[in-house]
Chain A
Protein backbone atom coordinates (compact mmCIF):
# COMPACT_ATOMS: atom_id res chain seq x y z
CA UNK A 1 0.00 0.00 0.00
CA UNK A 2 1.27 3.41 -0.87
CA UNK A 3 0.49 5.61 2.10
CA UNK A 4 1.08 8.71 0.02
CA UNK A 5 -2.01 7.89 -1.97
CA UNK A 6 -4.05 8.74 1.08
CA UNK A 7 -4.65 12.25 2.27
CA UNK A 8 -6.19 12.59 5.66
CA UNK A 9 -8.07 15.74 4.72
CA UNK A 10 -10.06 13.68 2.24
CA UNK A 11 -11.60 11.85 5.13
CA UNK A 12 -14.22 13.31 7.36
CA UNK A 13 -12.91 11.33 10.31
CA UNK A 14 -11.21 8.16 11.52
CA UNK A 15 -14.28 6.01 10.78
CA UNK A 16 -14.23 7.25 7.20
CA UNK A 17 -10.54 6.37 6.88
CA UNK A 18 -11.06 2.92 8.38
CA UNK A 19 -13.95 2.24 6.06
CA UNK A 20 -11.77 3.20 3.12
CA UNK A 21 -8.99 0.83 4.22
CA UNK A 22 -11.47 -2.00 4.74
CA UNK A 23 -12.95 -1.56 1.28
CA UNK A 24 -9.60 -1.11 -0.36
CA UNK A 25 -8.36 -4.40 1.11
CA UNK A 26 -11.66 -6.12 0.42
CA UNK A 27 -11.97 -7.04 4.04
CA UNK A 28 -15.15 -8.30 5.63
CA UNK A 29 -16.48 -5.49 7.78
CA UNK A 30 -17.95 -7.89 10.32
CA UNK A 31 -14.70 -9.83 10.60
CA UNK A 32 -11.93 -7.26 10.37
CA UNK A 33 -8.37 -8.61 10.55
CA UNK A 34 -7.55 -6.20 13.33
CA UNK A 35 -3.74 -6.59 13.29
CA UNK A 36 -3.58 -5.88 9.57
CA UNK A 37 -5.95 -2.90 9.65
CA UNK A 38 -4.12 -1.44 12.66
CA UNK A 39 -0.80 -1.63 10.86
CA UNK A 40 -2.20 0.11 7.80
CA UNK A 41 -4.02 2.73 9.84
CA UNK A 42 -0.89 3.55 11.83
CA UNK A 43 1.15 3.77 8.61
CA UNK A 44 -1.17 6.46 7.30
CA UNK A 45 -1.00 8.43 10.55
CA UNK A 46 2.79 8.07 10.68
CA UNK A 47 3.17 9.39 7.17
CA UNK A 48 1.04 12.38 7.95
CA UNK A 49 3.07 13.15 11.04
CA UNK A 50 6.40 12.70 9.25
CA UNK A 51 5.19 15.24 6.72
CA UNK A 52 4.56 17.57 9.66
CA UNK A 53 0.90 17.59 8.91
CA UNK A 54 -1.43 18.06 11.80
CA UNK A 55 -3.27 14.93 12.67
CA UNK A 56 -6.52 15.67 14.43
CA UNK A 57 -6.89 14.19 17.88
CA UNK A 58 -9.75 11.98 16.75
CA UNK A 59 -7.47 10.10 14.37
CA UNK A 60 -5.01 9.46 17.20
CA UNK A 61 -7.80 8.36 19.50
CA UNK A 62 -8.85 5.78 16.94
CA UNK A 63 -5.26 4.57 16.66
CA UNK A 64 -5.29 3.97 20.41
CA UNK A 65 -8.63 2.20 20.18
CA UNK A 66 -7.31 -0.11 17.45
CA UNK A 67 -4.22 -0.95 19.47
CA UNK A 68 -6.37 -1.65 22.49
CA UNK A 69 -8.61 -4.00 20.53
CA UNK A 70 -5.57 -5.68 19.03
CA UNK A 71 -4.07 -6.33 22.47
CA UNK A 72 -7.35 -7.71 23.76
CA UNK A 73 -7.53 -10.06 20.79
CA UNK A 74 -4.08 -11.35 21.65
CA UNK A 75 -4.92 -12.11 25.24
CA UNK A 76 -6.09 -15.62 25.90
CA UNK A 77 -9.75 -15.82 26.77
CA UNK A 78 -10.03 -16.10 30.51
CA UNK A 79 -12.68 -18.59 31.31
CA UNK A 80 -13.95 -17.91 34.78
CA UNK A 81 -16.17 -20.11 36.89
CA UNK A 82 -16.33 -23.00 34.54
CA UNK A 83 -17.62 -22.45 31.00
CA UNK A 84 -20.43 -19.98 31.54
CA UNK A 85 -18.62 -17.03 29.93
CA UNK A 86 -19.31 -18.11 26.39
CA UNK A 87 -21.10 -14.91 25.47
CA UNK A 88 -18.18 -12.59 26.12
CA UNK A 89 -18.29 -9.99 23.40
CA UNK A 90 -15.78 -9.89 20.58
CA UNK A 91 -13.41 -6.96 21.32
CA UNK A 92 -14.15 -5.69 17.82
CA UNK A 93 -17.91 -5.65 18.30
CA UNK A 94 -18.33 -1.98 19.22
CA UNK A 95 -16.04 -0.82 16.44
CA UNK A 96 -17.95 -2.92 13.92
CA UNK A 97 -21.24 -1.47 15.09
CA UNK A 98 -19.88 2.05 14.77
CA UNK A 99 -18.49 1.38 11.31
CA UNK A 100 -21.80 -0.02 10.12
CA UNK A 101 -23.74 2.88 11.56
CA UNK A 102 -21.29 5.40 10.14
CA UNK A 103 -21.46 3.77 6.74
CA UNK A 104 -25.23 4.10 6.81
CA UNK A 105 -25.12 7.85 7.43
CA UNK A 106 -22.26 8.40 5.05
CA UNK A 107 -24.43 6.83 2.37
CA UNK A 108 -27.43 8.88 3.52
CA UNK A 109 -25.35 12.05 3.18
CA UNK A 110 -24.54 11.19 -0.43
CA UNK A 111 -28.20 10.46 -1.13
CA UNK A 112 -29.17 13.78 0.40
CA UNK A 113 -26.70 15.58 -1.83
CA UNK A 114 -28.20 13.90 -4.88
CA UNK A 115 -31.65 15.30 -4.21
CA UNK A 116 -32.52 18.25 -6.43
CA UNK A 117 -31.44 21.15 -4.28
CA UNK A 118 -33.04 24.56 -4.15
CA UNK A 119 -30.84 27.27 -5.70
CA UNK A 120 -28.47 24.63 -7.03
CA UNK A 121 -30.60 22.43 -9.27
CA UNK A 122 -33.85 24.28 -9.25
CA UNK A 123 -35.17 27.69 -8.37
CA UNK A 124 -38.42 28.58 -6.70
CA UNK A 125 -41.00 31.06 -7.81
CA UNK A 126 -41.07 33.33 -4.79
CA UNK A 127 -42.80 36.67 -4.78
CA UNK A 128 -41.04 39.08 -2.46
CA UNK A 129 -42.71 39.16 0.93
CA UNK A 130 -45.16 42.04 1.00
CA UNK A 131 -43.97 45.21 2.70
CA UNK A 132 -45.48 45.88 6.06
CA UNK A 133 -48.79 47.28 4.98
CA UNK A 134 -49.48 50.88 5.92
CA UNK A 135 -52.58 50.35 7.93
CA UNK A 136 -53.09 54.02 8.61
CA UNK A 137 -53.50 55.50 12.05
CA UNK A 138 -55.16 53.64 14.84
CA UNK A 139 -53.10 50.55 14.12
CA UNK A 140 -50.43 51.38 16.62
CA UNK A 141 -48.53 48.63 18.29
CA UNK A 142 -46.50 48.65 21.45
CA UNK A 143 -42.85 49.47 20.96
CA UNK A 144 -40.45 46.64 21.54
CA UNK A 145 -37.33 46.95 23.64
CA UNK A 146 -35.12 46.48 20.63
CA UNK A 147 -36.65 49.37 18.71
CA UNK A 148 -36.38 51.54 21.77
CA UNK A 149 -32.70 50.79 22.21
CA UNK A 150 -32.09 51.55 18.58
CA UNK A 151 -33.78 54.88 18.98
CA UNK A 152 -31.56 55.67 21.97
CA UNK A 153 -28.47 54.60 20.10
CA UNK A 154 -29.37 56.93 17.27
CA UNK A 155 -29.88 59.81 19.66
CA UNK A 156 -26.50 59.26 21.28
CA UNK A 157 -24.79 58.88 17.95
CA UNK A 158 -26.09 62.27 16.90
CA UNK A 159 -24.56 63.74 20.01
CA UNK A 160 -20.95 62.73 20.27
CA UNK A 161 -19.18 62.94 23.57
CA UNK A 162 -17.81 66.49 23.91
CA UNK A 163 -14.06 66.55 23.85
CA UNK A 164 -13.79 69.29 26.44
CA UNK A 165 -14.41 68.51 30.05
CA UNK A 166 -16.83 71.04 31.37
CA UNK A 167 -18.15 71.56 34.83
CA UNK A 168 -21.81 72.20 34.82
CA UNK A 169 -23.38 73.66 37.84
CA UNK A 170 -26.86 72.38 37.24
CA UNK A 171 -27.56 68.87 35.99
CA UNK A 172 -31.05 67.71 35.21
CA UNK A 173 -32.37 64.93 37.42
CA UNK A 174 -34.62 62.09 36.36
CA UNK A 175 -37.34 63.22 38.73
CA UNK A 176 -37.27 66.72 37.25
CA UNK A 177 -37.53 65.34 33.79
CA UNK A 178 -40.46 63.09 34.74
CA UNK A 179 -42.51 66.02 35.82
CA UNK A 180 -41.48 67.97 32.73
CA UNK A 181 -42.64 65.15 30.46
CA UNK A 182 -45.92 64.87 32.32
CA UNK A 183 -46.45 68.61 31.95
CA UNK A 184 -45.72 68.45 28.26
CA UNK A 185 -48.17 65.60 27.84
CA UNK A 186 -50.97 67.25 29.75
CA UNK A 187 -53.92 67.80 27.49
CA UNK A 188 -52.09 66.15 24.60
CA UNK A 189 -53.06 62.97 22.84
CA UNK A 190 -49.52 62.12 21.97
CA UNK A 191 -46.02 63.44 21.80
CA UNK A 192 -43.36 62.50 19.30
CA UNK A 193 -40.41 60.67 20.79
CA UNK A 194 -38.03 63.01 19.00
CA UNK A 195 -39.74 66.05 20.51
CA UNK A 196 -38.44 65.00 23.90
CA UNK A 197 -34.91 65.23 22.66
CA UNK A 198 -34.17 68.66 21.23
CA UNK A 199 -31.09 68.69 19.04
CA UNK A 200 -29.24 70.99 21.39
CA UNK A 201 -29.67 68.60 24.30
CA UNK A 202 -26.43 67.03 25.44
CA UNK A 203 -25.77 63.34 26.06
CA UNK A 204 -26.48 63.70 29.74
CA UNK A 205 -29.87 65.20 29.04
CA UNK A 206 -30.65 62.50 26.50
CA UNK A 207 -29.86 59.75 28.99
CA UNK A 208 -31.81 61.42 31.79
CA UNK A 209 -34.80 61.93 29.53
CA UNK A 210 -34.67 58.35 28.35
CA UNK A 211 -34.57 57.07 31.93
CA UNK A 212 -37.44 59.37 32.86
CA UNK A 213 -39.45 58.01 29.97
CA UNK A 214 -38.78 54.41 30.99
CA UNK A 215 -39.70 55.25 34.56
CA UNK A 216 -43.04 56.65 33.41
CA UNK A 217 -43.75 53.52 31.42
CA UNK A 218 -42.93 51.44 34.46
CA UNK A 219 -45.33 53.54 36.52
CA UNK A 220 -47.95 52.90 33.86
CA UNK A 221 -48.36 56.59 33.25
CA UNK A 222 -47.05 56.43 29.73
CA UNK A 223 -47.32 54.17 26.73
CA UNK A 224 -44.93 53.95 23.84
CA UNK A 225 -46.45 53.16 20.47
CA UNK A 226 -45.43 53.02 16.87
CA UNK A 227 -47.37 52.36 13.69
CA UNK A 228 -44.71 50.28 12.00
CA UNK A 229 -41.41 48.68 12.80
CA UNK A 230 -38.57 51.18 12.86
CA UNK A 231 -41.23 53.85 12.50
CA UNK A 232 -41.61 56.97 14.60
CA UNK A 233 -42.18 56.32 18.27
CA UNK A 234 -45.02 58.13 19.99
CA UNK A 235 -45.64 58.76 23.66
CA UNK A 236 -49.21 58.69 24.83
CA UNK A 237 -50.58 59.21 28.34
CA UNK A 238 -51.76 55.88 29.62
CA UNK A 239 -54.26 57.17 32.13
CA UNK A 240 -56.49 59.30 29.92
CA UNK A 241 -59.07 57.96 27.54
CA UNK A 242 -57.07 56.78 24.56
CA UNK A 243 -59.48 54.27 23.17
CA UNK A 244 -58.47 55.00 19.59
CA UNK A 245 -55.07 53.55 20.28
CA UNK A 246 -56.14 50.01 20.60
CA UNK A 247 -52.81 48.55 21.52
CA UNK A 248 -51.60 46.88 24.63
CA UNK A 249 -48.36 48.30 25.92
CA UNK A 250 -47.71 46.26 28.99
CA UNK A 251 -44.47 46.27 30.89
CA UNK A 252 -43.18 43.16 29.23
CA UNK A 253 -42.89 45.21 26.09
CA UNK A 254 -40.05 47.05 27.77
CA UNK A 255 -38.61 44.11 29.55
CA UNK A 256 -39.79 45.30 32.94
CA UNK A 257 -41.71 42.12 33.66
Chain B
Protein backbone atom coordinates (compact mmCIF):
# COMPACT_ATOMS: atom_id res chain seq x y z
CA UNK B 1 0.00 0.00 0.00
CA UNK B 2 1.48 3.33 -0.99
CA UNK B 3 1.67 6.23 1.41
CA UNK B 4 -1.93 6.79 2.42
CA UNK B 5 -1.55 10.54 2.83
CA UNK B 6 -0.16 10.96 -0.67
CA UNK B 7 -2.88 8.70 -1.98
CA UNK B 8 -5.68 10.71 -0.38
CA UNK B 9 -4.07 13.86 -1.70
CA UNK B 10 -4.06 12.37 -5.20
CA UNK B 11 -7.72 11.45 -4.95
CA UNK B 12 -8.63 14.95 -3.77
CA UNK B 13 -6.62 16.38 -6.63
CA UNK B 14 -8.34 14.23 -9.22
CA UNK B 15 -11.88 14.49 -7.88
CA UNK B 16 -14.54 16.31 -9.87
CA UNK B 17 -16.17 17.77 -6.75
CA UNK B 18 -16.06 17.66 -2.97
CA UNK B 19 -15.06 14.14 -1.95
CA UNK B 20 -16.86 12.51 0.95
CA UNK B 21 -14.78 10.68 3.51
CA UNK B 22 -16.94 7.55 3.26
CA UNK B 23 -16.32 7.51 -0.47
CA UNK B 24 -12.59 7.79 0.18
CA UNK B 25 -12.80 4.94 2.68
CA UNK B 26 -14.63 2.84 0.11
CA UNK B 27 -12.07 3.51 -2.63
CA UNK B 28 -9.09 2.94 -0.34
CA UNK B 29 -10.69 0.01 1.47
CA UNK B 30 -9.82 1.37 4.87
CA UNK B 31 -11.84 2.44 7.89
CA UNK B 32 -13.47 5.84 7.82
CA UNK B 33 -11.66 6.86 10.98
CA UNK B 34 -8.36 6.22 9.20
CA UNK B 35 -9.49 8.46 6.32
CA UNK B 36 -10.59 11.18 8.73
CA UNK B 37 -7.21 11.07 10.45
CA UNK B 38 -5.42 11.43 7.14
CA UNK B 39 -7.70 14.31 6.09
CA UNK B 40 -6.97 16.04 9.38
CA UNK B 41 -3.25 15.50 8.91
CA UNK B 42 -3.39 16.95 5.41
CA UNK B 43 -5.34 19.96 6.63
CA UNK B 44 -2.75 20.60 9.32
CA UNK B 45 0.09 20.12 6.87
CA UNK B 46 -1.28 22.66 4.39
CA UNK B 47 -1.68 25.16 7.20
CA UNK B 48 1.72 24.58 8.75
CA UNK B 49 3.70 24.89 5.53
CA UNK B 50 1.44 27.41 3.91
CA UNK B 51 0.44 26.17 0.53
CA UNK B 52 -1.42 28.06 -2.17
CA UNK B 53 -4.41 25.91 -1.37
CA UNK B 54 -6.12 24.47 1.66
CA UNK B 55 -8.43 21.57 2.32
CA UNK B 56 -11.95 22.77 2.97
CA UNK B 57 -14.79 20.71 4.35
CA UNK B 58 -17.67 21.60 2.09
CA UNK B 59 -21.12 20.19 1.36
CA UNK B 60 -20.40 17.01 3.28
CA UNK B 61 -17.09 16.41 1.50
CA UNK B 62 -13.56 17.70 1.17
CA UNK B 63 -12.14 19.86 -1.58
CA UNK B 64 -8.83 21.52 -2.35
CA UNK B 65 -9.36 25.24 -2.73
CA UNK B 66 -7.07 28.20 -3.28
CA UNK B 67 -6.41 30.55 -0.40
CA UNK B 68 -8.81 33.52 -0.37
CA UNK B 69 -5.90 35.97 -0.07
CA UNK B 70 -4.75 35.03 -3.58
CA UNK B 71 -8.13 35.82 -5.14
CA UNK B 72 -6.89 38.88 -7.04
CA UNK B 73 -4.22 36.93 -8.88
CA UNK B 74 -6.53 34.10 -9.74
CA UNK B 75 -9.02 36.54 -11.15
CA UNK B 76 -6.30 38.04 -13.30
CA UNK B 77 -5.39 34.57 -14.48
CA UNK B 78 -8.93 33.74 -15.47
CA UNK B 79 -9.67 37.27 -16.71
CA UNK B 80 -13.05 36.93 -15.09
CA UNK B 81 -15.10 39.39 -13.16
CA UNK B 82 -16.44 37.61 -10.15
CA UNK B 83 -20.15 37.18 -9.92
CA UNK B 84 -21.76 39.61 -7.53
CA UNK B 85 -25.06 39.01 -5.84
CA UNK B 86 -27.60 41.81 -5.75
CA UNK B 87 -28.91 42.74 -2.33
CA UNK B 88 -32.41 41.38 -3.05
CA UNK B 89 -30.83 38.08 -4.12
CA UNK B 90 -28.72 37.88 -0.95
CA UNK B 91 -31.67 38.73 1.26
CA UNK B 92 -33.83 36.10 -0.37
CA UNK B 93 -31.06 33.53 -0.23
CA UNK B 94 -30.49 34.27 3.47
CA UNK B 95 -34.18 33.86 4.25
CA UNK B 96 -34.36 30.56 2.36
CA UNK B 97 -31.17 29.34 4.01
CA UNK B 98 -32.22 30.11 7.57
CA UNK B 99 -35.94 29.52 7.33
CA UNK B 100 -36.15 26.48 5.08
CA UNK B 101 -38.51 24.93 4.31
CA UNK B 102 -40.13 28.22 3.40
CA UNK B 103 -42.84 29.33 0.96
CA UNK B 104 -42.67 32.28 -1.38
CA UNK B 105 -45.44 34.02 0.59
CA UNK B 106 -43.39 33.76 3.77
CA UNK B 107 -40.32 35.16 2.00
CA UNK B 108 -42.32 38.07 0.63
CA UNK B 109 -43.87 38.82 4.01
CA UNK B 110 -40.41 38.96 5.58
CA UNK B 111 -38.93 41.11 2.82
CA UNK B 112 -41.98 43.24 2.19
CA UNK B 113 -41.56 42.94 -1.58
CA UNK B 114 -42.41 40.64 -4.44
CA UNK B 115 -39.68 38.03 -4.64
CA UNK B 116 -40.80 35.90 -7.58
CA UNK B 117 -38.12 36.93 -10.04
CA UNK B 118 -35.31 36.81 -7.47
CA UNK B 119 -36.44 33.36 -6.47
CA UNK B 120 -36.45 32.26 -10.09
CA UNK B 121 -32.90 33.50 -10.58
CA UNK B 122 -31.79 31.54 -7.52
CA UNK B 123 -33.59 28.45 -8.81
CA UNK B 124 -31.92 28.86 -12.21
CA UNK B 125 -28.53 29.12 -10.54
CA UNK B 126 -29.27 25.93 -8.58
CA UNK B 127 -28.76 27.66 -5.26
CA UNK B 128 -32.36 27.11 -4.24
CA UNK B 129 -34.61 24.20 -5.02
CA UNK B 130 -38.21 23.22 -4.53
CA UNK B 131 -38.39 20.73 -1.68
CA UNK B 132 -42.04 19.90 -2.16
CA UNK B 133 -45.50 21.26 -1.59
CA UNK B 134 -46.81 22.60 1.65
CA UNK B 135 -49.93 20.82 2.83
CA UNK B 136 -52.13 23.90 3.05
CA UNK B 137 -54.80 25.19 0.64
CA UNK B 138 -53.23 26.05 -2.70
CA UNK B 139 -50.35 23.65 -2.05
CA UNK B 140 -47.63 26.29 -2.37
CA UNK B 141 -44.11 25.15 -3.22
CA UNK B 142 -41.63 25.10 -0.37
CA UNK B 143 -38.06 26.12 -0.98
CA UNK B 144 -34.72 25.11 0.45
CA UNK B 145 -31.05 25.50 -0.40
CA UNK B 146 -29.01 23.09 -2.51
CA UNK B 147 -25.66 21.33 -2.32
CA UNK B 148 -24.36 24.00 -4.73
CA UNK B 149 -25.31 26.63 -2.16
CA UNK B 150 -23.08 24.93 0.41
CA UNK B 151 -20.27 24.63 -2.14
CA UNK B 152 -20.54 28.28 -3.12
CA UNK B 153 -20.26 29.57 0.42
CA UNK B 154 -17.82 26.90 1.58
CA UNK B 155 -20.13 25.45 4.21
CA UNK B 156 -19.77 21.90 5.49
CA UNK B 157 -23.53 21.76 6.11
CA UNK B 158 -26.42 24.04 7.05
CA UNK B 159 -25.36 24.00 10.69
CA UNK B 160 -22.20 25.80 9.59
CA UNK B 161 -24.19 28.90 8.61
CA UNK B 162 -23.25 31.95 10.68
CA UNK B 163 -25.54 32.25 13.68
CA UNK B 164 -28.43 34.63 13.20
CA UNK B 165 -27.92 37.72 15.29
CA UNK B 166 -30.81 38.48 17.54
CA UNK B 167 -32.21 41.94 17.96
CA UNK B 168 -30.35 42.71 21.18
CA UNK B 169 -26.97 42.13 19.51
CA UNK B 170 -27.97 44.16 16.49
CA UNK B 171 -29.15 47.03 18.67
CA UNK B 172 -25.87 46.99 20.58
CA UNK B 173 -23.95 47.11 17.32
CA UNK B 174 -26.07 49.94 16.01
CA UNK B 175 -25.30 51.92 19.15
CA UNK B 176 -21.64 51.29 18.73
CA UNK B 177 -21.35 52.48 15.16
CA UNK B 178 -24.06 55.06 15.43
CA UNK B 179 -21.63 57.76 14.47
CA UNK B 180 -19.94 55.66 11.83
CA UNK B 181 -20.03 57.32 8.44
CA UNK B 182 -21.12 54.25 6.56
CA UNK B 183 -24.54 52.83 7.22
CA UNK B 184 -25.21 49.46 5.65
CA UNK B 185 -27.75 51.13 3.34
CA UNK B 186 -25.09 53.30 1.91
CA UNK B 187 -22.61 50.58 1.16
CA UNK B 188 -21.31 51.02 -2.35
CA UNK B 189 -21.48 48.62 -5.22
CA UNK B 190 -24.86 47.07 -5.70
A109 touching B113 in the complex, CB below 8 Å, given contacts A26-B178, A115-B162: no
Q: Let me know if A189 is at the binding interface, CB within 8 A.
A: no
User: Which of B27-35, B36-44, B89-97, B130-138 forms part of the interface with chain A?
Assistant: B89-97
A116 touching B68 in the complex, CB below 8 Å, given contacts A10-B190, A104-B164: yes
Q: Let me know if B151 is at the binding interface, CB within 8 A.
A: yes
- Which of A29, A123, A127 is the one whose CB lies under 8 Å from B14? A127
Centre residue among A19, A24, A117 by max chain B CB count within 10 A = A117
Q: How far is the CA of A115 from the CA of B56 in the complex (A)?
A: 13
Q: Which residues from A are CB-within-8-Å of B94?
A: 105, 108-109, 111-112
Centre residue among A123, A126, A127 by max chain B CB count within 10 A = A123
Residues facing A in B55-99 (CB within 8 A) are 63-68, 71, 74, 78, 80, 82-85, 87-88, 90-91, 93-95, 97-98
Q: How far is the CA of A117 from the CA of B14 in the complex (A)?
A: 22
Interface size on A, as a range, is 35 or more
A115 touching B111 in the complex, CB below 8 Å, given contacts A104-B165, A125-B12: no
Whether the Cβ atoms of B110 and A101 lie closer than 8 Å is yes
- Dominant secondary structure of chain A at its interface with chain B: helix
Chain B nearest CB from A107 CB (Å) reads 5
Chain A nearest CB from B20 CB (Å) reads 15
- Using CB atoms and an 8 Å cutoff, list the residues of chain B in contact with chain A: 12-17, 53, 63-68, 71, 74, 78, 80, 82-85, 87-88, 90-91, 93-95, 97-98, 109-114, 151-155, 161-162, 164-167, 170-171, 174, 178, 183-186, 190
Q: Which residues from A are CB-within-8-Å of B80?
A: 119
Q: How far is the CA of A148 from the CA of B7 in the complex (A)?
A: 43
Whether the Cβ atoms of A120 and B82 lie closer than 8 Å is yes
Q: Which residues from A are CB-within-8-Å of B113?
A: 12-14, 56, 58
A116 touching B112 in the complex, CB below 8 Å, given contacts A110-B184, A122-B65, A125-B53: no
Q: Which residues from B are CB-within-8-Å of A29?
A: 167, 171
Residues facing B in A1-54 (CB within 8 A) are 10-16, 19-20, 23-24, 26, 29
Q: Which residues from B are CB-within-8-Å of A107?
A: 164-165, 170
- Which of A98, A112, A123 is the one whose CB lies under 8 Å from B65? A123
Q: Which residues from B are CB-within-8-Å of A102?
A: 110-112
Chain B proximity mask over A113-154: 1 for CB below 8 Å, otherwise 0: 101111111111111111000000000000000000000000
Whether the Cβ atoms of B97 and A20 lie closer than 8 Å is no
Count of CB-CB pairs between chains A and B under 8 Å: 144
Q: How far is the CA of A16 from the CA of B112 in the complex (A)?
A: 9
- Which of B17, B66, B95, B152 is the one whose CB lies under 8 Å from A105? B95
Whether the Cβ atoms of B85 and A113 lie closer than 8 Å is yes
CB nearest neighbor in B for A16: B185
CB nearest neighbor in B for A19: B185
CB nearest neighbor in B for A5: B186
Whether the Cβ atoms of A127 and B13 lie closer than 8 Å is yes
Chain A nearest CB from B118 CB (Å) reads 9
Centre residue among B13, B94, B97, B109 by max chain A CB count within 10 A = B94
Q: How far is the CA of A12 from the CA of B91 in the complex (A)?
A: 9
Chain B nearest CB from A88 CB (Å) reads 23
Known A13-B112, A102-B111, A116-B154; further 18 A-B contacts with Cβ < 8 A: A11-B185, A14-B112, A20-B183, A58-B114, A103-B170, A104-B165, A106-B91, A108-B97, A108-B98, A109-B91, A110-B90, A111-B162, A115-B162, A119-B83, A122-B71, A122-B74, A124-B63, A126-B63
A15 touching B112 in the complex, CB below 8 Å, given contacts A103-B167, A119-B82: yes
Q: How far is the CA of A56 from the CA of B88 in the complex (A)?
A: 14
CB nearest neighbor in B for A126: B16
Q: Which residues from A are CB-within-8-Å of B109?
A: 98
Write 16 A-B pairs (CB below 8 A) sorted by A numbering: A12-B91, A12-B111, A13-B112, A14-B113, A15-B111, A16-B112, A16-B185, A58-B113, A112-B94, A112-B153, A115-B154, A120-B82, A125-B64, A125-B65, A126-B16, A127-B13
